Structure formats: C-alpha cells, structure tokens
Amino acid sequence: MDTSDTSGTSETSETNKPTDTSGRLEEALDRLHACGPERDGWLSNHAPMVVEALAAHGQGERVHHWLDLYRDKLEDFPDRVAPVTDDNWASALGDPRRIADWTDHFSRALAERPWRDVLAEWWPRLLPGLVGGATHTVIRAGHAVRALEADENAPRLTELAHALGYWAARHQPVTGVAALPGARTATESLDAVPAIEPGHLGFRDRLAALRRLPAWAEEVTDPDTARDRLTELVRAATHRYATHGHGEPTMLVHAATAPNAVLRTLDSLPRELWAPSLHAAWTASAAVTALYAPVKPVAGTPARLAPEEVLERALAHGDEHVIKFTDTALDVGDELALAAALRAVEISEPLV
C-alpha cells in the first residue's frame, strides 16, 4: 500500500507521533456507531479500536479501506430493553442484554457533564470487571480516551459512550482465585503464573477454571509508583509474546494490550485511582497468561526493522489483533517489543 500521502497529519509536540487530523477517524466512528460491539453472540467488534490506532499513527488514509475489509464482521446495533438509571444501574451491571441501554445511559451522562468527570465516577465501578468481554471492553475504553485526549468532538465522545456501555454490560469480576507468592518483577511474576488445567474451551470456560494467580505489586499505593509498575507490566507482557505468543496468537496479545489500555487512561483519571488500576490490570494480564499458556516457550528473535517498518508489516497483514498489539509494541518502543510485534505478524492469520 502507498503510504506517501501525509495530508491531514501533524506532529504532536509531546510525543512527536504523527496524529491524523483529517476527520477520517470521525467518519469511521460515525459508520461504526450503527454497529454493535459484538458479533456471533460474543465475539468483539475490534473496528473502533483499530481505526483509532490507525489515526493515532498518522494512517488515516487507510481507515476506510481497512473498514471495508472488516465490514463482514460487523453486526447491527442491538435492541434496547429498558433504560439504565441512577437508581437501577447496579442490577444492570454485567447484563449483556443491556448493551444498548448502557450506551444510552453513558450518552446522556456525557451530554450533561465533562467526559473526565463521567470517567472518574464510573472507572472504580467498572474496574473490578475489567476482564469482561475478554478484556476488549477496557481496551476499547483506552482507545476512546486516547482519541479524546488528542481532540474532543462529538464522534469521539460517542465512542467513549459505546466503550463504557460495552464494559458495563460485559462487566465480569475475577472471583474464587487464590493468591500465590509473587515475584519481584513483572517478568518474573508472569513467568510464575500457573497454567489452568487443560481441556477448557472458550474464554469464559477457561476463566471459570482459573484457581490461582501470583500476587504482584499488591503493596503499591503511591500513584507514581503505580504508573511505573504498570509501565513495567506492559513492557514485560509485550516482550513475553515473542516467546510465548504461540500458545494462542490471538488471545495472548491481550495480556499486553489490556494493561496498556489502563496505562493510557491514567492521566485522565484522579490519581487516587492509579493504584487500583494497576492491581486490576495485573489480574487481567495474569489471567490471560494463565488461560493460554503454551507448553513451553520458543527462542525470541531480535527485531532488525525500524518502528515504521514494523508498523507497515502489521498494516499489510491487516489482522485486528496484530494491529492493536503493534500499537502497544510501538508504545513500549524497544527492540524486544518490536520483535514481539513481528512475531504476531508471523503467527497470526491475516485479515484477507
């Protein structure tokens, strides 16, 4: 694909990352908000996350082409059941039949109050159910927040309403899990995660079989330390994919992309929520690691390509998980992370 067209892009002063300002992201989100967050009863719609990642990396000219390739995986927005209100929201939490009701609720809230205030109110309510929708719920929220931090407008606010509504409807706490002794580092703790017993199929069935997870960073209460540990976790989980991703190439990307979604959201949240966010992100990352652990790791291969070339490989491959994982690997930015992104390209099925 030709990537020479740089119209509609600019350089951000803080990160020097090309950011699309052409309006293509808004056009794509408008297309997607007529679609539901899932298909085939439970599989997540990744399109809102991917188009945001494309725009964040200055690839807005590819948004509609990618959406056209993905459109057969889109379903209509689900029907409404009954309004979610300030009085009945607790009983509607975790009810997947109420996706439309929850989206309406957040649309109303975001029309009445600043989005950061809504996020701060609902983040601690939603955080315990971070693994809902196989963690796609918080990942979509993280992409929505990054988009709003770059530019606040109506389609991006609507996307946050859809993301939070999906999270609320698929809210699923991790329960009945005994804590094992933890290790000093995130890498060592991920290595210490025991695999679930074999024979379980599907994310929800596997999650129900989860019995033990190592504790890690549970003593952290300081916000800045929490950010540092969360950054460490994202790096460790990204690196680990290069040697363990073959256990389940699609699902294991979430061990990195879910905590990275939380990390991206921290600056939009009150600081007192940073440490709880770290703890929930660790539980999610460790759970995914346990659910899809391979029998044994393979040797990693250093990346010999520049970040731009790695991104191009991912975009040419086209798979939604590969693109989102590469987005996280580029955030980490080191050679091992780039090697992990190339490994995802190698072992994943392309979109077409």
Domain boundary among 172, 204, 219: 172
- The predicted pLDDT at position 41 comes to 84
Cα–Cα distance list, 100 to 83, 140, 154, 204 (Å): 9, 16, 18, 22
Residues 6+ apart with CB under 8 A from 343: 241, 242, 245, 300, 301
Cα–Cα distance list, 12 to 21, 24, 352 (Å): 11, 18, 33
User: In the chain, which stretches have pLDDT less than 70?
Assistant: 1-21
What confidence tens digit (pLDDT) does each residue in 291-346 have? 999 999 999 887 789 999 999 999 999 999 999 999 999 999 999 999 999 999 99
Kindly state whether residue 14 falls inside one of the protein's structural domains: no
Closest residue by Cα to residue 161 from 115, 96, 126: 115
Kindly state whether residue 12 falls inside one of the protein's structural domains: no
- The predicted pLDDT at position 18 comes to 54
Kindly state whether residue 5 falls inside one of the protein's structural domains: no
Q: Which two tokens stand for residue 189?
A: 């703790």
Strands 178-180 and 212-214: parallel
- The predicted pLDDT at position 6 comes to 32
**Residue 35 backbone phi and psi in degrees, to 5:** -110, 155
166 with 199, same domain? no
Number of structural domains found in the chain: 2
Closest residue by Cα to residue 268 from 229, 227, 233, 217: 227
Kindly state whether residue 9 falls inside one of the protein's structural domains: no
What confidence tens digit (pLDDT) does each residue in 57-102 have? 999 999 999 999 999 999 999 999 999 999 999 999 999 999 999 9
Kindly state whether residue 120 falls inside one of the protein's structural domains: yes
pTM of the predicted protein model: 0.93
150 with 201, same domain? no
- The predicted pLDDT at position 12 comes to 32
